[in-house]
Structures are given as C-alpha cells and as structure tokens.
Chain A
Amino acid sequence: MHDVQSIVRIRSGNQMVAEGALRAGCKFFAGYPITPASGIYKTMIDTLPGKGGVALSAPDEISALAYCVGASLRGQKAMTATSGPGWALMTETVQYALMTETPVVIATVQRLGPSTGGATQNAQGDVLFVENCTSGGYTIPVFTPSNPIECYELTHIAFTWSELLRTPVVVMLDKEVGMTSEDVNYMDIHDLTTLSRQRTSMSGNGMDKNIDTYYFENPEDVPSFVPVGGEIKSTVTGSAHNKAGRLQKNSPETLEVLYHLQKKIDANANQMELVKRDIEEGARTLIVSYGITARTAREAVRRLRKNGEKVSWLNVLSLFPVPENKLRNSLHGIERIVIPEENFGGQYRSVIENVFDDQDVVGVNKIGSMITPDEIIAKVV
C-alpha cells in the first residue's frame, strides 16, 4: 500500500466543468454546439448516460435551457453550457428559472462579441451582459474560474448555491480558460460538500388546491421545493405570482414574492464571497483579476516582486454578488486598484468603481489579444 500523492491528467477547463457538475450530482444536461463551449457538451454526452443521467442534444439554446428547467422542476440537478450568442437566446429561460425559483446551472464560455463575434477569440465582454440579463435587475450569481481545478470546484459550488437558493447560477469561463488543456492533479481538488435543495415535508394526495407551494416566512427564506409530478399539486408560472404559485397582479403577497427573489440572494451574499488573495504588507496597489487575467496577473506579481516591489493581488472567484467584504478588507494601505479585463469598457471595473467610489480604480483593457504582464505592471504604483 502506498499513499496516492498525485493523479495527473491532461484536462481542459471545459472538461473539468463537466466533471465538477457530475461530482455535484448533475443528472441532466442539454446542449447545442457552440465554440468555445462545445467541449462541455461533448464531455457530458460521453459520460452522463453511463452514470444514469440524461444528456440531450437540443435544436437551439432556447430549448436547451428549457429542457434543463423542466428536469429541475422535478428535482433533478441540471446544467447547460453555451457562449455569448447562445446566452442571448437563453435569457428568456434564465429569467423564467429565476421567477419560478428553479435551480439550474449555466456554464458560459465567453468569446469575442457582440453578435456572432469571434468564435475562437478570447474575451471577457459578457460580464454585464450575463449579470444584467433580467427585467427588474435581479442578481444572477456568477462564478469565474481561472484554471481547470477552479472550473471543477466552482461548477460544484455553483450547483450548491443554485440548489440552496433555488435560483439560476452561472459559471462564466472565457475561451482561454475553457479550451486550454493543462496538467491537472486531481489531488489538488479541495474537499467539496454536495448539497441539494430542501424538499417539502408536506404531504398530500395531489388534489389539494391552493397549497402555498412557494411558502416562506421571511422574505430572505428559501421555500422548500415541491416537485412537479409529486404528491402535492404543483403550480408554476413565470408571471408574477403569490406564494401558491398562481398569477396575481400587484397584490401585497405578489410584491413580497418579487422582493423575496432578490432578498434571498442578498441575505447570502456574504457567504457566497469567494476570492483568492495574495496580500503583501506595504503594497500600494491591489491587482483585481478574474478568469484568464488571473494567470497574467500572477506573472505580473511575480515580476514585480522579483524587482523588489510590493504589490497585492486578489483573484475574484465569485464575481457576483460582488465580494464586497473580502475586497474591502484587502484595501489596507492600498492607493490604487488595477483591474485587467479583456473588454474595452472595463465592465467589472465599472462595478467596482460603484462599490468603492472613494478608491482610485484603474483598468487595463484590451480586446483581440491577451493582456500581457507588462501592461498590468505599467499601471502599478
């Protein structure tokens, strides 16, 4: 007998998203071909049926996500994967899942936009597009891995939060993170606890009318789940509804439900915060990265320190809700926040500027090619 020190395989980020989903208990996948996300689709088609799950090819992204929501209405953990153009089509059902409190995980692998854009070009231009896709401005939790291990772990965590909060959760990669294959030591994967939604303890004969299947005491509470096709009569609607899941216009109870959909996320925002930090005492600059720019930022930090300069670095893994506390308590002595992003507008920068309006926030922005470490270093004070 000998201890296993390492199990090393060559894996892409896309493959690890699929494996993380399987580890989280994902039993349903639907997909439509789209570069650079097709690797997730392919891996799920290859592996899910052998694990007793269903992997289905959809005629478009509208159907793909709707299949997943249907499966999740029964209680199955479901996922789909896409890129910007497919996300555009999914926004209808993302909102439906949010409104009907149906857990579902969507992996989206960013490519250059807008429209069909550049299928094989990296970008981080979907940050606000993904986050701000709802009528009403609800928070969509978004996790952003920067390497294959994080792809595995964050997909697993996305399932956890999706289940616990009963809301759609996004794992947002970019093309470089999704399609780059590298050596992965499976022993590096952290212990992960798999959690599922709280199911109803109510029982019934399937005929009872007007049971509050979406009942909650306080607005931040998450109602226990009543599956379709179960003992309790289940009514689900994407329209504004009361706690019985029935369409109602502007009643106090309906408005309470509409507030609740956001409050349950706000109430858990602190717990969802996930960052990796490398704080150096005396540093005046904090580099904030996510996705592929984390890899560049790491190299920038290494070069700066090699030259004896002090710099701090924070990699955001939970992009939304904004990890406000962990960012705030990384700001001791910081005079400038530098945010490299592969988009021209500084999308996450605009979010951070809003939250930390007393800070000097500087972007390193570029589209069409990757940001270099030197471009980040040039902005460091």
Chain B
Amino acid sequence: MSTNAGIEQELNINVEDMDIVYERPDTLTDTRMHYCPGCSHGVVHRILMEVVQELGIQDKTIGVAPVGCSVFAYSYLDIDMQEAAHGRASAAATGIKRVLPDRIVFSYQGDGDLAAIGTAETIHTANRGEKILVVFINNAIYGMTGGQMAPTTLDGMKTSTSPFGRNPDHVGHPLKITDLIAMLPGAYYVTRVAVNNPRNVRVAKKAITKSIQYQMDGKGLCFVEVVSNCPSGWKMTPVEANKWLEENMFPIYPLGDLKVPSDDK
C-alpha cells in the first residue's frame, strides 16, 4: 500500500458530515478587505460584527466610521454605516442616537481621528454621557496618509514626521485620551483591550458585548480602546509588529478596565 493512497483516503471527506465551528458572520459582507496584512482593523471589524450577530441587532445597529484607514468600513460591516468628516464621528453618532434612541449606535475611530482632530468631539460626547459605543483603534500613527506622527505616537518612536523619534520636549508625550475619558462622569464603561492574540481577542469581544448590552439598557457612554498595530506604518512584518506592540505599546497603554459601572459591582 503506497503512502499516497493513505493521503487520498484522508482527504476523502464529506463536508456534510462536518460541524461548522468558525465562519464569517452574516453581518460581515463577503468582501476581501483592503487592509494591509497583519492589520488589527480586520479582527476588530469581525468581533464587532460577531457581537451584532449574536445579539440579533443587525437591523437596529448604526455605525459611524472615521476618516482614516477604516473609511471603507461600510464595505465590510453589513449594517447602516456612515463615514463622517475627519474627527466628527462621535458628533455625527450623537445626532443619530438622539433622534433614534432605541437603536444601537457606535463610532469607530482611529487615533488621529479621535485623539487629534476630533478631540473636542470625543471629550464632549463622553462628558454628555452620550449613550453610544466609541471604538477607538489606537495604532500610534497616521496610517492612511503615510505614517505621520500621531498624538498617541510613543516617545522616541520614529515616523515620517518624527524622523529622529518623537521628542516629548518638542511635541509632548503620547496623549492617553482613554484615561481622560475615564475621568469624566458621563463615561459609563471605559476599557482598553487588544487583538494581538486569541486570548486578547476574546477579552476584546467581551468588552464590546458588554458595551452594547449597556447601551441596550440605556446606560451612558462606553469607550473601548483597542491598542493596535500598523505593520505598514511601523515598517515591520505583522509578526514583528505584534511583538513590538507587546513590548512597547502595552507598557504605555496598559490593557484592562479604566472605569467599570458602579452598579455593576
């Protein structure tokens, strides 16, 4: 009996008999994403849409995308999606939520969008206790425009506009906007997660599930920072980027809850 025969036998599998353990949720479109290899956006898109599917809220969820790499989020998230002007996502989400209070509304923003040009909108949305979810993708760089320094760029980190590394004497230290948000009474649940390994993906998904449940219960603003990578902007391979993320980003942006609801023990 040749070895080949054994392989052929093993490949002779009837798909009908198999259990599906993992598949694309119906809430994600069947589209190839444009994101770079190793980018966190794809994973966050997926867990967000898994939660929407699991909670059965596809037809009542409305998202607002930023200007940045995720401008095309509407191509992938199969729900009502808007792309707001740069920095204005949480303001646009406010308008939507105020006229449709029974819908689940979220904004999805990068660090340039949320923590630079949209700082005022972000702070005031949180301070008003707007009953929306803000998903904050922090990869410490402007990815789409060519890797410029962002407000969240780490001290000493080289970018195209900090060629000698970020100099805090010149431009200050990275802005930990999530910590600021957690200080505001209007913020209900504030947490920092990552999607660099399966364990962290599960934690991140749980945070998003909790946030949407809080919103369904009419609670205040939920803010989920996802400490993310940017292999292209960081000029690293995806594996290197995830290693760099753990070694350099996590000490500055430590994972964990920054604010948990007081009535949630």
List residues of chain A with CB under 8 Å of any chain B CB. 31-35, 38, 41-42, 45-46, 56-57, 59-61, 85, 115-116
Contact = CB atoms under 8 A, between A and B. Distances in A.
B145 A35 contact: yes
Contacts of A42: 146, 148, 160-161
Q: Which of A32, A41, A85, A115 has the most CB of B within 10 A?
A: A32
Contact of B85 (A34, A35, A59, A116): A116
A60 B145 contact: no
Interface residues of B, number: 23
Interface in B100-116: 112, 116
A56 B117 contact: no
A116 B85 CA distance: 7
B171 A57 contact: yes
Contacts of B148: 33, 38, 41-42, 57
Contacts of A34: 145
A38 B151 CA distance: 17
Given A38-B145, A45-B163, 6 more contacts: A38-B146, A42-B161, A59-B116, A59-B119, A85-B67, A85-B86
A112 to B, nearest CB: 14
Nearest to B164: A49
A85 B146 CA distance: 17
B163 A46 contact: yes
Nearest to A59: B116
Interface in B61-110: 67, 71, 83, 85-87
Interface of B: 67, 71, 83, 85-87, 112, 116-117, 119, 142, 144-146, 148-149, 151, 160-163, 170-171
A57 B149 contact: yes
B158 to A, nearest CB: 12
A36 B199 CA distance: 40
A46 B151 CA distance: 19
A116 B171 CA distance: 27
A270 B161 CA distance: 40
A59 B151 contact: yes
B173 to A, nearest CB: 14
B116 A85 contact: no
A61 B116 CA distance: 10
